[in-house]
Amino acid sequence: MSLTIYGCYRSRASRNIWLANELGLPFNHVPVIQVYRLPDPNAPGVPLHTRSADFLKVNPNGHIPSIDDNGFKLHESLAINLYLARKHGGPLAPKDAQEEGLAIMWSLWAATECETNALNLQQHLAAFPPEKRKPDVAEASLAALKAPFAVLDRALAEGKGYLVGGRFTVADINVAEVIRYAKPATQLFDANPNVKTWLDACQARPAFQAMWQARDAEAA
């Protein structure tokens, strides 16, 4: 196999694995976990992690995911997806420069306008144990996401349920994988029905389901 994806399923590597599933790409998966999940990253027998010397040879930044595509190394999950879609083509890839611009725009939009606040909602409404949750952080993030969700809802209405070209593309994968962090805040989705319908449809796709089943099987 020429493509290797580094990272665990319970990380942003899920985005790249979903896309690879959509494209039918064979790949070698090298599990790499986040160093903060280990009580002692220097203990004997610890799994490969983001500060392991072997992984730092792949990504000196010490973050997951990364890929090695037949010797070409690339980092940052959203950039990896844009690269793989362009390289392998098909309906998931932009068909021209305008569509490519839109795919890049929506990917950056998700990262800058939504991701931090969406992660805050996931953590402080669901993922963290109750004693570590901060209601004020969740409330501020909920308020901050109201405007971006409204923007996304209108764009989906205008785009016939998709972000680029009236069809499912890499842009939908990149944005959906950010927006899903906010799912514990159901009121955001109730107020933006196009977003809810779109995210449900994205996550009903067989390629997403295959990735998610593997994620569920991975040790927490």
CB 17 within 8 A of CB 29: yes
Q: Judge if 146 and 168 occupy the same domain.
A: yes
pLDDT tier at 77, thresholds 50, 70, 90: very high
What is the pLDDT, as a whole number, of residue 219?
A: 81
As a whole number of angstroms, the distance between CA 7 and CA 13 comes to 5
Instruction: Copy the structure tokens of residue 93.
Output: 């890839």
CB within 8 Å of 193: residues ≥ 6 apart: 153
Instruction: Copy the structure tokens of residue 50.
Output: 């983001």
What is the pLDDT, as a whole number, of residue 1?
A: 57
Q: Judge if 163 and 203 occupy the same domain.
A: yes
Short-list 109, 93, 89, 99, CA closest to 175: 109
Q: What is the mean pLDDT of residues 97-118?
A: 98
> Is 215 a member of any domain?
no
> Is 116 a member of any domain?
yes
| pLDDT tens track for 6-55 | 999 999 999 999 999 999 999 999 999 999 999 999 999 999 999 999 99
pTM of the model: 0.96
Sequence-separated contacts (24+) of 28-35 with Cβ below 8 Å: 28/1, 28/3, 28/4, 29/4, 29/5, 30/4, 30/5, 30/6, 31/7, 31/218, 32/6, 32/7, 32/8, 32/64, 33/8, 34/8, 34/64, 35/62
Total structural domains within the chain? 2
Among residues 89, 113, 129, the one where a domain terminates is 89
The whole domain housing 58 covers: 3-89
Domain harbouring 118, CATH code: 1.20.1050.10
Range scoring the smallest mean pLDDT among 1-10, 113-122, 166-175? 1-10
Q: Judge if 83 and 104 occupy the same domain.
A: no
> Is 157 a member of any domain?
yes
Is residue 65 reached through a cis peptide bond, with omega within 30 degrees of 0 on the bond before it? Answer: yes
As a whole number of angstroms, the distance between CA 80 and CA 113 comes to 20
Residue with tokens 């064979």: 26
What is the pLDDT, as a whole number, of residue 160?
A: 96
pLDDT tier at 220, thresholds 50, 70, 90: confident
As a whole number of angstroms, the distance between CA 55 and CA 65 comes to 11
| pLDDT tens track for 52-73 | 999 999 999 999 999 999 999 9
> Is 217 a member of any domain?
no
Q: Judge if 115 and 199 occupy the same domain.
A: yes
Q: Judge if 123 and 154 occupy the same domain.
A: yes
